[in-house]
Amino acid sequence: MARKLTERLRASINNPESGDVKIFLVTMKQGDKTIQVCSQGIKRLTVEDYETYRSWNEARDYESNLDRYVTYGVISNGRLFEQGGFSVVLSEDSEGTVPSVQISIPNVSRDIITSIERLENKPVKVDIELIFADAPDDILMALHDFDMTNISYNDDAITGTISRELLFTEPVPTHRFAPTYFPFLGW
């Protein structure tokens, strides 16, 4: 399916010397647990940012660790994304396999590891968005409802496989047209 790209994004992609800074925003969700990282930070995050866009407890944790590390990030559409530059490895394109991408996020913050440890052993929903640094509230492209599985982490990085369930492998219709499922067909 073709995606509509804005003129500015198309021009920026075709001209690597345009000076436009593109930032990917990745949101990982499982139930009420959310991890938000961005490919590049444009703002030094403050305690007030955490109080406004996250929770009071996270603001206090951040404030108590200010002497150990400084965090950069992006605030986009009322959501705070911490910088966690990541790398992406495309999978081999072969017949009969689900297209997938392996994503690796450097372990830049203990908070991300703590969040990963709290996730249950179920797939994590992933949303990926693209923005320009000078207009963080304008979403240029959005990819939603991916599944992240095979999540592992060590001292260096957090790694997982992102894929989307192939709907064309599902039987259509999933139910037979029988009186059990469709009682009013007039058998």
**3-state DSSP assignment of residue 70:** coil
Has residue 187 got a pLDDT over 60?
no
User: What sign has the CA pseudo-torsion 137, 143, 144, 146?
Assistant: negative
Structure confidence at residue 171 as a pLDDT band (50, 70, 90) = low
Write down the pTM of the prediction. 0.74
When the pLDDT of each residue in the chain is averaged and rounded to a whole number, the result is 77
Among 3-7, 45-49, 163-167, 180-184, the least confident range: 180-184
pLDDT digits (tens, 9 = 90+) for 87-105: 777 777 777 677 778 888 8
Angle at 84 between CA 23 and CA 51, to 5 degrees: 90
Is pLDDT above 90 for 137? yes
What are the tens digits of pLDDT across the range 56-85?
A: 666 666 677 666 667 888 999 989 888 877
CA 183 and chain centroid, separation: 43
Query: Alpha-carbon distance 126 to 147, whole Å?
Result: 6
* pLDDT: which is higher, 110 or 103: 103
Q: Which amino acid is at 129?
A: E
